[in-house]
Amino acid sequence: MSHHTEALNDLRPPLLPPDDHELPLEWLSVDQMLTKYCGEFGFWQLKHFILTCIAWALQSIHTMVMIFADCEQGWTCEPGSGCVWDADKSVCGLDPGSWRWDDGEGWSTVAEWGLVCGEKYKVGLVQALFFAGCMIGAGIFGHLSDSKLGRKGSLTIVCSLSFVFGLLTSISPNYWTYVLLRVLTGFSTGGVGLCAFVLATEPVGPTKRGIAGMSTFYFFSIGIALLSGIAYIFRYSWRSLYIASSIPSILYIVFILPFISESPRWCLIQGKTDQAMKIMHSIAKSNGKHLPKNVYIALNEECNSSSDHDHDTVSNTIRNETIETVVVRGSVIDVIKSPLTRKRLFLVMGVDFTCSIVYYGLNLNVVNLKTNLYLAVLLNAIVEMPAYLLTAILIDRFGRKPLGIGTQWFSGVFCIIGGILGSRGIWKEVTMLCGVLGIFGMAGTFNLMFIYAMELFPTVVRNVALGCGTQMIQLGAILVPFVVVVGGGFPFMVFGACGIVGGILVLYLPETLNKPLYDTMNK
């Protein structure tokens, strides 16, 4: 810069910012731009995060509606039939026509299609196939959200499909049509949480992204709490319940999605630089920041990292020349080849599997407690929220490993107590309390493992490892319904054993508190 220009700058009024056009070009990555100019988590990110994460509530509603729709209700003897009513026994062995359902056959799918006794396995089958659909949908829409459809486009499609399949489920003429439509609902629902999570967290700055990601779980719990209210209102018809539980999806599409922006990161990798810059300017403006006109967005490898060179020269070189960049990639094979990451991968997969069985199992098992179903589901949902908060507070104080062991053993012990007490007589409420405390501990574990698993693997294979863990979560969810349909104290004992085993597996994982994150397998 010449002495003449420096003199002119000295004469500029001190309260006036320099003209953006007088500054050299500056190429920044999304994270750099958020940190330096736009704000990592301001009003724009808060609004965008809340509106996007409401989709998590939709996912929980479509998932957990099976608790109410596939519930076995109470029954009573027909007058003069000669049958003897026993609240702790099923209708198996009674003569046809000697008993009837308390609230009529339209109350649940179990009552309408006679899914009891020898047909009871069908309840677990439809629920397991729903989670299988979730597994397939998560994989397909995860790929589509990275490629052609984008995050917002994929979220729009999965919410639309969930709405349509939910409505069609309400008019299922028979059991097998019901199964098919529940699988299709699972297929679409499996992509909702994934698309919403990525879209909600990508515009958040690097130092705030972890806590933002952990906070998405609150919306899943809120959805379950809302579902308990919806199910109570439509408690006399499972078909009406499916209609009512599907309506929030169309409301979300019409009234909320238009106010959600596409991810600037996706726009950037798709070559839509102008759209990405438009979003970044919007973020800065809403956050009360100023994004200079001389600042442009670029991929990480395109950004100038040195301030010792002429910025215009460096920028033009980056934009106009082909730069040979060594891209380090990793696969699940690389994870397995390394003794260190192989051990960690199998342990994390084991923990995710046991956590899934306990968490989804306790939620679905409320139908076996013989207590107020709506109250039990509501309590399970409410107790998850302080568990998430407590875990977030304690994770940096006590470390990942002690907290991971403690939360799982806490859950496992109360599950075992619940299995011993059973759900008969005066012990029903105590058993329900044990289930609530079990949910509390395992919800905390889920929140913890989100951060713990990310820190256990280097960047090059981090997503691969987390993907394997996610698959184990879904596998556990598929198996859970078959445990729940057995009934009695058996499910609680299985959940308790899984909680204890999960805690033992964490014993063999290293502590990651205050440890650096590695980028490559070579560290």
Record the pTM: 0.85
Q: Under 8 Å CB-to-CB from 24, ≥6 apart: which residues? A: 294, 310, 311, 312, 315
- List alpha helices for 327-367, DSSP H: 332-337, 339-364
399 Ramachandran zone, left/alpha/beta (phi>0; psi -120 to 50): left
How far, in Å, CA of 291 to CA of 263, rounded? 18
Neighbouring C-alpha atoms within 13 Å toward the C-beta of 381: 22
Token pair belonging to 265: 């990161």
Quick one: CA dihedral 481, 486, 491, 494, positive or negative? negative
pLDDT of residue 509: 93
Name the pairing type of β-strands 295-297 and 99-101: unpaired
User: Hey, CA dihedral for 449, 450, 455, 460, is it positive or negative?
Assistant: positive
Tell me the per-residue pLDDT of 135-184, one tens digit each, with 9 for 90 and over: 898 888 888 887 778 889 999 999 999 999 999 999 999 999 999 999 99
**How long is the chain?**
523
**Cα 211–224–216 angle (5° rounding)?**
15
Tens of each residue's pLDDT in the chain, 523 residues: 444 444 444 444 445 555 555 677 888 888 889 998 999 999 999 999 999 999 999 999 999 999 999 998 788 887 877 777 666 667 787 877 778 887 777 889 998 998 988 889 999 999 999 999 998 988 888 888 877 788 899 999 999 999 999 999 999 999 999 999 999 999 999 888 888 888 998 899 888 887 888 888 899 999 999 999 999 999 889 999 999 999 999 999 999 999 999 989 888 888 889 999 999 999 999 999 999 988 888 876 666 443 444 444 444 433 443 333 334 445 678 778 888 888 999 999 999 999 999 999 999 998 888 788 999 999 999 999 999 999 888 888 888 899 999 999 999 999 999 999 876 767 788 888 999 999 999 999 988 887 888 788 876 666 677 778 888 888 999 999 999 998 888 999 999 999 999 999 999 999 988 776 665 666 5
Q: Give the alpha-carbon dihedral of 27, 28, 30, 36, to 10 degrees.
A: -130
Alpha carbon of 92 to those of 73, 75, 96, 106: distances in Å? Answer: 14, 12, 10, 20
Can you tell me the distance from the alpha carbon of 321 to that of 82, in angstroms, rounded to the nearest whole number? 90
CB contact at 8 A, 203 and 297 = no
- The tokens describing 477, both together, are 């969810």
pLDDT value of position 429: 84
Ordered DSSP codes for 390-442:
HHHHHHHHH-HHHHHHHHHHHHHHHHHHHHHH-SSGGGHHHHHHHHHHHHHHH
How far from 387 is each of 111, 296, 350, 437, CA to CA, in Å?
36, 42, 22, 10
Written as one string, the DSSP assignment of 444-477 is: HHHHHHHHHHHHHS-HHHHHHHHHHHHHHHHHHH
Task: List, for residues 483-509, the tens digit of each pLDDT value.
Answer: 999 888 899 999 999 999 999 999 999
One-letter amino acid at 151 equals R
Report the C-alpha gap between 485 and 492 in whole angstroms: 12
- The amino acid occupying position 222 is I
Task: Look at residue 107 in the predicted model and tell me its pLDDT.
Answer: 86
Q: Which tokens is 215 given? A: 């906070």
**Cβ neighbours of residue 318 closer than 8 Å, sequence gap 6 or more:** 27, 298, 302, 303, 304
